[in-house]
Amino acid sequence: MKHLYIIFLITLLPILSFGQSEYFSTDSSTSVGIKLIDGGDLINSRLCQVKKGDKVIQYSPYEVKEYGFKDGRVYISKEIQIADSSKRVFLERLQKGNTTLYYYKGKGIKTYYIQRDSTLFVELPKQNAATENYSRQLLNLTKNCPNVSDACKLVGYNKKSLSKLITRYNKCELKPFPHFKYGILVGYEFLKVIPYSEQIDNLEYFDFKYDGGFSIGMFLDNPILVSDFSLHTEINFSKHGYSYNYNSSSEDLDLIINISSFRIPILIRYSIPKNNIRPYFNTGAIFSYNISNENALYKASFSNDIIEISNQLEESIISDNEIGYVLGCGLEYNLDFKKSVFFEIRFSKQYGISDDIQNNNSIINISSGINF
């Protein structure tokens, strides 16, 4: 019994380590725990390169049927049609299942292949001879699963995007497919000045509150590695006007602020993969440039029936350039496979970049937009 257990372990250990070590297989044997040389997509499609000591041994697709790297990349020897001739090459297996996706890169060639069980092995070029693009081909190949029909229209011609599509197809999974978005947005924002600088007198007399103003802008939203996370950037324009008053028996203070701003938030967005209505969350940084920044603090002093009026500000109490952070959340509603509308509420805190002006502000923004 002890001998059987030892034989079992000797047999099992190479199998367990097979997926964690580099290997190659021929028709008659498998070598595990070897050192493979990664020559890049172009070389890897032609040769399996094994380092033994100081030597590098090269195997062709006619000698090796499969090899794999430690990071999980696997290359399979396959016969493909290039131009008018057949050729055996190594295809990188991107997804494995009932339907398997392969990638091939040759000289001046970058293409994909789809295999379904043993019944189908077909190339998926970006554009075929019949001027049919890859999206239409995918729609035909996956028509038995309507859940991925919208995804076929949005999928990009690259490894990450096509791999995600085939994974969804193998599960016949209905989920929103990550894709590039752009559009416009309008909003209403409430901005509050937060006095911080001790260099400007009399600001402590004013009760600063949130003041409203409209904003308009445009945005880009690009998925990160074809995931539910995306890099979301915007450029917005807004305009605000403030008027505050304080009076006592001896003086009267009037503060006037007029600001026109361009704001550029750079955000990381996470969208919960729900269909039709999709909640999302944002966080990131915001930069503001106040193209118009007019401030005045008028002080009227009363003495012996004489009124003296002077402007107490030598410079703006708000920096022309500001930077801060943003937090927000919203809901996105699908209009069709590509278009959607969204509603969002966002909070941001901004800090002046100037050495002399240290007053900050906070913004609550409520916006709505549409992507095309």
CATH number at residue 213: 2.40.160.20
Contact call for residues 360 and 352 (beta carbons, < 8 A): yes
Q: In sequence order, which residues have a C-beta less than 8 Å from that of residue 85 and are 6 or more positions away?
A: none
Structural domain boundaries enclosing 282: 181-245+255-295+321-371
Report the pLDDT value the prediction gives residue 117, as an integer from 0 to 100. Answer: 82
Report the pLDDT value the prediction gives residue 244, as an integer from 0 to 100. Answer: 82
In a domain, 313, yes or no: no
CA angle in degrees (0–180, nearest 5) for 179-224-186:
60
Total structural domains within the chain? 1
Report the pLDDT value the prediction gives residue 314, as an integer from 0 to 100. Answer: 64
| pLDDT 10s digits, 67-124 | 999 999 999 999 999 878 899 999 999 999 999 999 999 998 999 999 998 789 999 9
Question: Which ranges of the chain have pLDDT less than 70?
Answer: 1-20, 129-131, 196-201, 249-250, 302-314, 355-358
202 alpha carbon, distance to own chain's centre: 46
Rounded Cα–Cα distance for residues 184 and 291 (Å): 21
In a domain, 326, yes or no: yes
Rounded Cα–Cα distance for residues 347 and 329 (Å): 9
Closest CA to 285 of 336, 214, 353: 353
In a domain, 241, yes or no: yes
In a domain, 7, yes or no: no
In a domain, 265, yes or no: yes
In a domain, 167, yes or no: no
Report the pLDDT value the prediction gives residue 237, as an integer from 0 to 100. Answer: 98
Alpha-helical segments (H) within the chain = 2-17, 40-44, 134-141, 149-154, 159-171
Supply the pTM of this predicted model: 0.85
Report the pLDDT value the prediction gives residue 16, as an integer from 0 to 100. Answer: 46
User: How far is the CA of 355 from the CAs of 192, 200, 294, 350, in angstroms?
Assistant: 21, 14, 19, 15
User: How far is the CA of 290 from the CAs of 6, 33, 320, 327, in angstroms?
Assistant: 76, 61, 5, 21
In a domain, 98, yes or no: no
User: Which amino acid is present at 236?
Assistant: N
Rounded Cα–Cα distance for residues 246 and 202 (Å): 10
| pLDDT 10s digits, 192-223 | 988 765 556 677 777 788 889 999 999 999 99
Report the pLDDT value the prediction gives residue 309, as an integer from 0 to 100. Answer: 67
Report the pLDDT value the prediction gives residue 198, as an integer from 0 to 100. Answer: 59
Report the pLDDT value the prediction gives residue 46, as an integer from 0 to 100. Answer: 96
In a domain, 221, yes or no: yes
